[in-house]
Amino acid sequence: MTHASTSIDVKKPRALIALAVFLVVVIGVGALIGTQTAPGAWYAGLEKPVFNPPNWVFGPVWFALYVMIAIAGWRTFLAAPLSVGMGLWVGQMLLNWVWSPAFFAAENLWLAMAIIIPMLAAIIAFIVNRWTRDRASALLFVPYAAWVGFATLLNASLIVLNT
């Protein structure tokens, strides 16, 4: 099977403009949400599991992940803008963007858990969907799946320790 991405000229000006848009939107919206929902006194007061990373880890990790998410979305958009893969990408992105407000602004661990589980499912479904169509996009989502899997465990641990 030929990978869909092999027929895409990613160096054309329109493709590069689309890449810039994906990067600006994904990183920009993520950064805006992150600054508006930064951990505060409520989060500081929660009992945390021993494997909870220090707060400074989250910013650099999410920046790197958002770059990879944007590139995978861009590649999928160029190859198949109305595909199931693109739908999965959009769905996981919307869930990603609502998780922090649910967790940090609404201070609702259960609502955040109800968001992160389908988000993880959409991320895994995207990997499966793109695996034979565009391996690079699928692989760009593997660290993201690992991190969100870890975040799901962390979210569940916070529920157990604080309810």
Residue 10's pLDDT is what? Answer: 73
Residue 31's pLDDT is what? Answer: 95
Residue 7's pLDDT is what? Answer: 58
Distance CA 128, CA 126 (A): 5
Residue 125's pLDDT is what? Answer: 98
Residue 12's pLDDT is what? Answer: 86
Residue-range definition of the domain harbouring residue 14: 4-162
Distance CA 122, CA 76 (A): 15
115 by DSSP, 3-state: which? helix
Encode pLDDT of 79-118 as tens digits.
999 999 999 999 999 999 999 999 999 999 999 999 999 9
Those residues of the chain that have pLDDT short of 70 are: 1-8
90 by DSSP, 3-state: which? helix
Residue 8's pLDDT is what? Answer: 67
Domain count, the chain: 1
CATH code for the domain in which residue 44 is found = 1.20.1260
Report residue 18 as tokens: 């689309």
Distance CA 109, CA 159 (A): 6
Residue 2's pLDDT is what? Answer: 42
